[in-house]
Amino acid sequence: MGMKIDTTLVLLKPDAVERGLVGRVISRFEERGLKIVGLKLLVASAELATKHYGDFIERYTEKLGKEKATKIMDEMVGFLTSGPIVAMAVEGIDACPVVRKIVGSTYPNEAPAGTIRGDFAHVSQDYANTVGITVKNLVHASGSVEEAKIELSLWFDPKELTTYSAVHEKHTR
Ligand code: ADP
């Protein structure tokens, strides 16, 4: 920790785009001194969204039971493909954990103020599960460097990722 430059995947989900928060959310990363090395607006296919959430059912079966986890997975794929999203590749020193901190915890009611989820949403897991919707928490960010590698290759063609030096790197690295 503390010295590795890595690149992570951030998705601005349909709630962020439809609420007109794209600029403000992207600013959070820029302000922190992270560098955007890939960026695009797209509507994802169900196939891509399913691949993206790959192991969700497995991860949540123990906690929620297979039926519920599968239902939530269907909701998530439905939601992620329901409108345009923004895919970003974000580079920085330990970008992966730093970005997760900026994003905040999964359930917005638990996310600290100052994080994206804690500042722009407040929904709870209980509410979402009672109503039967996915937790709308604006952004996705890769959970680990290994996940980031896999997810970046799902969402970006290598030639869509750029190399350049940002002037602010003089002071943020
Ligand atoms: P994170 O996005 O914080 O990495 P996960 O990978 O565990 O969280 O979950 C993926 C997404 O699934 C979450 O961002 C959220 O939108 C949704 N989600 C997670 N848990 C639930 C749940 N219990 N009910 C509905 N949706 C959920």
Q: Are residues 36 and 49 in the same domain?
A: no
Q: Are residues 102 and 148 in the same domain?
A: yes
Ligand 1: centre distance to CA 6 (Å): 24
Q: Which domain holds residue 64?
A: 44-82
Cα–Cα distance measured from residue 140 to residue 93, given in angstroms and rounded to the nearest whole number: 19
Give yes or no for residue 76 CB within 6 A of ligand 1.
yes
Tens of pLDDT, residue by residue over 23-75, are 999 999 999 999 999 999 999 999 999 999 988 999 999 988 999 899 999 99
pLDDT at 132: 86
In a domain, 22, yes or no: yes
Q: Are residues 138 and 67 in the same domain?
A: no
pLDDT at 2: 66
Ligand 1: centre distance to CA 106 (Å): 6
Total number of domains in the chain: 2
Q: Are residues 71 and 90 in the same domain?
A: no
Tens of pLDDT, residue by residue over 116-173, are 999 999 999 999 989 989 999 999 999 999 999 999 999 999 999 999 999 999 999 9
